[in-house]
Chains A and B, each alone.
Chain A
Amino acid sequence: MSYYTLDARNSLCPMPVIKTQNRVAELQPGDLLEVTCTDPGALNDIPAWCRINGHLVKETREDDSEVVIVVQVAP
């Protein structure tokens, strides 16, 4: 299991979802991907994308300017 990061700042949904989707496609089952976004809509959209594709959201956090979502790739 490896830990990766993805910078999806300054892009508006659905681009953070598309970037997450494309990066996850390159990873192995169980890998973790930390996605950083500035569009607060990503807090809904990326977890929704994870739910329908079977991936797990391990953590979400946000402050005034950024949201971070940690995704674990489906087994």
Chain B
Amino acid sequence: MSTQPKSEQKRAVALISGGLDSLLAAKVMLEQGIHVEGINFYTGFCVEGHTHAIRKKDKAKPKRNNALWSAEQLGIKLHIIDIIDEYKDVLINPKHGYGANMNPCLDCKIFMVSKAKQWMDENGFDFIITGEVMGQRPMSQRKDLLPVVVRESGADDRLVRPLCAKNLAATLPEREGWIDREKMKDFSGRNRKPQMALAKEYGFEDYATPAGGCCFLTDKSYSDKLVDLWQARNKKEYELDDIMLLKVGRHLRPEPHFKLIVSREDGENKFLQGYKKHFGYIEIKSHNGPLTLVDGELSDEDFKLASRIAARFSQGRDADMVTVKTTTREGEEKQFDIPPMPASEIKQEWYI
């Protein structure tokens, strides 16, 4: 590793997502003697973290936050920033629109780089590092869109992309000789082999390879639930609990004015218990069965319909009758027996 005299050592803030590219980009800069600290933004939609806490089936997997893991591999500090509230405007009003699903990738990248720029200015750092690779992603990393991020984030020529820098115009740190352009990379396109080779060269193993990217908004099923939420409320808004619940359970909307969230296993059951104060809910009393949250204003008839559906997902699905207890959001309880709904009566279009 080359070194710079401490007094002249330049400082860079690296966007660390927890994926391989940001890990490598930061490492390329560390190899040039730059002081690097990581920054990780939490939007509420990050696949990182929380999901492992919900489903019991995931508990056998190692529980680790990959952004923290990356920072530990690099030996750098990591600052995790909550941008949940600020991010709402990015998602609800994306200037550059959505991708294949509800993913506002270009606006998201611009926003995160602009936040990194703000952090850089506030903390006396010199430039920003991202793991972007030209042409790797269809929306945020297209060749013609990389300059848009530079311009609209305000980072201008203090934004360095070490993995594809040789394909781009020289940035301020390169022109000023803070970093050596010749030691930067020229990766492009969707081929991951160069990154994997570089990871091997650096000795990185067991790095994260999320199949669906790092954001739930790129997932069709998740996006469908978000759109349904907005349509049902007749306005595009959300709180953190709303978007957490979209990750949990089966979501069914048997009537336009109410939705059911039916837990699929013990882990989700336990997670949903924490929301009983905020929703009406249905419990199966005569058999093992799911906790079902009900979102909306339900009449007695609605509760009966909802209870028959909930009973369908219980161990009593083949019984003549199942005992259920319903509780309204106001705390009014009723217990009664109902026949579980046959599978053939559960309409496919109810599933969100």
Contact = CB atoms under 8 A, between A and B. Distances in A.
A61 to B, nearest CB: 17
Nearest to B78: A52
A52 B77 contact: yes
Contact of B49 (A14, A21, A52): A14
Contacts of B75: 52
A43 interface: yes
B50 interface: yes
Contacts of B65: 13-14, 17, 41, 44-45, 48
A40 B68 contact: no
B63 interface: yes
A41 B68 contact: no
B71 A52 contact: yes
Contacts of B40: 14
A48 B68 contact: yes
B52 interface: yes
B319 interface: no
Interface string B67-101: 11101100111111110000000000000000000
Nearest to A47: B68
Given A10-B274, A14-B49, A18-B42, A44 B64 contact: yes
A5 B53 CA distance: 22
A53 B59 CA distance: 27
A14 B71 contact: no
B170 interface: no
A45 B49 contact: yes
A14 B42 CA distance: 8
Contact of A12 (B49, B64, B71, B82): B49
B283 interface: no
A18 B82 contact: yes
Contact of B80 (A21, A39, A51): A21
* Max chain B C-beta neighbours (<10 A), residue from A41, A44, A52: A52
Interface string A49-70: 1011100000000000000000
Nearest to B52: A41
A69 B59 CA distance: 20
A6 interface: no
A27 interface: no
B12 to A, nearest CB: 17
Contacts of A39: 50, 53
B212 to A, nearest CB: 19
B328 to A, nearest CB: 22
B64 A48 contact: yes
A35 B345 CA distance: 48
Given A12-B50, A13-B50, A48-B72, A18 B63 contact: no
A48 B65 CA distance: 9
A12 B52 CA distance: 9
Interface string A4-47: 00000010111101100100000000000000001111011100
B53 A41 contact: yes
Contacts of B81: 18
* Max chain A C-beta neighbours (<10 A), residue from B46, B53, B69, B71: B53
Given A10-B274, A14-B42, 11 more contacts: A13-B50, A13-B65, A14-B46, A14-B50, A14-B67, A14-B80, A15-B82, A41-B50, A41-B53, A48-B72, A52-B75
Interface of B: 40, 42, 46, 48-50, 52-54, 59, 62-65, 67-69, 71-72, 75-82, 244, 274
26 contacts: A10-B274, A12-B49, A12-B54, A12-B244, A13-B50, A14-B46, A14-B48, A14-B50, A14-B65, A15-B42, A18-B82, A39-B50, A40-B63, A41-B49, A41-B52, A41-B53, A41-B63, A43-B63, A44-B62, A44-B63, A45-B49, A45-B65, A48-B69, A49-B68, A52-B72, A52-B76
| Nearest 9 Cβ contacts at the A-B interface | A12-B50, A13-B49, A48-B68, A39-B53, A41-B63, A14-B49, A45-B65, A52-B71, A44-B63
